[in-house]
Amino acid sequence: MNSIRNRILVYLVPTLILVYLLTGWRILKVTSHEAEEVLDAELANFARLVINSTTQELSKRADPRPFADVTTPPVISPEIFPKSIGRRWEAGGVGHKYETKLVFQIWASDGSLVYRSGFSPKMPLSRDPNGFSDVNFDGHDWRVFAISNDDSGLRVMAGEEHAIRDELILEMTSNVYIPLLIGLASIPFLTWFLVTWGLNPTRQMAQRVAERNPRHLEKLPTEAVPAELAPLVHALNDLLTRLDRALRNERRFTSDAAHEIRTPLAGLKIQAQVALGEKDDGARSAALQHIDLAVDRTMRLMDQLLALARFDSELPASVTQAINLNSIAADAIAQVASEANRRGIELSLARDDKATVQGDAAMMNIMVRNLLENAVRYNKKDGQVEVILEHEGNRVALTIDDSGPGIPENDRDRIFDRFHRLSHGAADGSGLGLSIVARIVELHRGEITVSDSALGGAKFRISLPSREGN
């Protein structure tokens, strides 16, 4: 499921429907309970109204004796009751569809039925003298409330058929549930619409990125960007910055490389023309030797250009490993030992057992070798080159001192620029060696500085995070 919108819908819609159904079920339970409570209260009030009205009317009679003292219970006419209670039953008509489902009885203290509503059964509605009860008559369930008056000896039973309550609760809940069901049916569509609308900033951002010209890598605007998209926009801007820098480096590298390659190729062409035009074997041999040297310089330049192009990219985490700089330095010294011996230059290495870093071994070898090659190439005859390793807290320092001419202070700011050559540099230098060194140091989160050496020449110091400090 690669669509964020579909993922949100799949998780959100069922959750909303479940919450909706649980809420509806809870509303039904609460509504039913509250309706039962209200109807019970109304039934109790009705029974109390009947017994109070009857007792008051009987107390006004000439013979105020209670029913218990009368041999034959008196006939209670509808006039005894308020009009709101008795007239409908005496008239014998049905004034409301629920009237046949609402009944009451008045019983004397001797258990005789004094009065009952027109639709009430002749047997007692409840066996309980007081309070609520649920009974069944002729297959119909009734809710009954009974109340007694000790002074008059009367007992009133008011009953209400459960069908009334069920119908009323059904009507109440249907009035509530119809909008709920409509809302339930609209959840998927409303959610789809709102999610789609909410994701509009994402589509707009994608459109702005797609409309970008590859030659113009300006940052995306961050104004009015939703908070959820802000990290993505910042990451894209960072990527665009690095991409723009990489493209500018590539264009500069291509231009500089073309210029640098053109020079040795022009020299090769001249020497080839000289060799072709010379009739003297000695002159022709000298021209061919110059061609051979020029080819060597060109090959070395190409190797350095390829290395620089490779190191322009980021250092993959998958190639990093624990590196013992003692072994790297020893290998690099062995690689330049032949040239150093030819010139009588003494090479020395001061080791440190804790000089271990995290990085790419091949890059580290190139870094140390390039520094040593420069230290040997530009050194004086019978000079010195010292390699010193030191563990300093959470960093490892690699120092290379030589006894050569050193590096003037006004050149130190540009010493690591590509194709930059010192005024006293050898003619065969490409100006790329130190650029490669600086790039490798940068990829390994290190620092490189150049200063005067105690041996009289240049001192290059590289500080790298130790493996323990990573």
CATH number assigned to the domain comprising residue 379: 3.30.565.10
- Hey, how many other C-beta atoms are within 10 angstroms of the C-beta on 423? 7
| Closest to 149 measured CA to CA, from 129, 133, 121, 134 | 129
- Same domain for 167 and 281: no
What pLDDT is attached to residue 71?
37
- Same domain for 138 and 13: yes
In a domain, 185, yes or no: no
- Parallel/antiparallel/unpaired status of strands 102-107 and 154-161: antiparallel
* Residue for token pair 């690669």: 2
- Same domain for 445 and 345: yes
What is the distance between the alpha carbons of residues 374 and 194, in angstroms, rounded to a whole number? Answer: 67
53: left (phi over 0), alpha (psi -120 to 50) or beta: alpha
| Closest to 56 measured CA to CA, from 159, 149, 158 | 149
- Same domain for 105 and 73: yes
- Same domain for 167 and 134: yes
Q: Which residues of the chain have a pLDDT value below 50?
A: 62-94, 318, 425-427
Contacts of 151 (CB under 8 A, 6+ apart): 55, 66
Cα dist. 186→20, 47, 61, 241, 416 in Å? 12, 47, 67, 46, 67
- Same domain for 324 and 290: no
- Parallel/antiparallel/unpaired status of strands 346-350 and 384-392: parallel
What are the helix and strand counts (H, E) for the chain? 10, 12
Q: Is the pTM above the cut of 0.75?
A: no
Read off the tokens for 347: 């090479």
What pLDDT is attached to residue 83?
40
In a domain, 184, yes or no: no
Q: Are 437 and 371 in contact (CB under 8 A)?
A: yes
- Hey, how many other C-beta atoms are within 10 angstroms of the C-beta on 91? 11
- Give tens-digit pLDDT for 246-305: 777 677 666 656 655 665 677 777 778 877 887 787 877 887 887 777 777 677 667 666
What is the distance between the alpha carbons of residues 344 and 354, in angstroms, rounded to a whole number? Answer: 31
Q: Are 290 and 271 in contact (CB under 8 A)?
A: yes
Last residue of a domain, one of 156, 171, 186: 171
- Same domain for 401 and 331: yes
In a domain, 213, yes or no: no
- Same domain for 333 and 286: no
Last residue of a domain, one of 311, 345, 363: 311
Last residue of a domain, one of 295, 311, 327: 311
What is the distance between the alpha carbons of residues 116 and 89, in angstroms, rounded to a whole number? Answer: 9
In a domain, 206, yes or no: no
What is the distance between the alpha carbons of residues 149 and 155, in angstroms, rounded to a whole number? Answer: 6
Cα dist. 379→172, 270, 395, 462 in Å? 102, 31, 29, 20
| Closest to 144 measured CA to CA, from 29, 49, 156 | 156
- Residue by residue, DSSP assigns 132-173 as EEEEEETTEEEEEEEEEETTTTEEEEEEEEHHHHHHHHHHHH
In a domain, 188, yes or no: no
DSSP annotation of 69 = G
What is the distance of C-alpha 398 from the center of its chain?
A: 43
What pLDDT is attached to residue 87?
39
- Hey, how many other C-beta atoms are within 10 angstroms of the C-beta on 61? 10
In a domain, 358, yes or no: yes
What is the distance between the alpha carbons of residues 205 and 215, in angstroms, rounded to a whole number? Answer: 19
| Closest to 190 measured CA to CA, from 8, 25, 28, 1 | 8
Count of structural domains, the chain = 3
DSSP annotation of 124 = -
* Vertex 50: Cα angle to 46 and 51 (nearest 5): 120
What is the distance of C-alpha 197 from the center of its chain?
A: 20
- Same domain for 323 and 447: yes
In a domain, 219, yes or no: no
User: Nearest 5°: phi and psi at 380?
Assistant: -85, 165
Domain range spanning residue 372?
317-465
| Closest to 400 measured CA to CA, from 439, 352, 449 | 449
- Same domain for 157 and 84: yes
- Same domain for 81 and 10: yes
Q: Which amino acid is at 361?
A: A
Q: Are 384 and 359 in contact (CB under 8 A)?
A: no
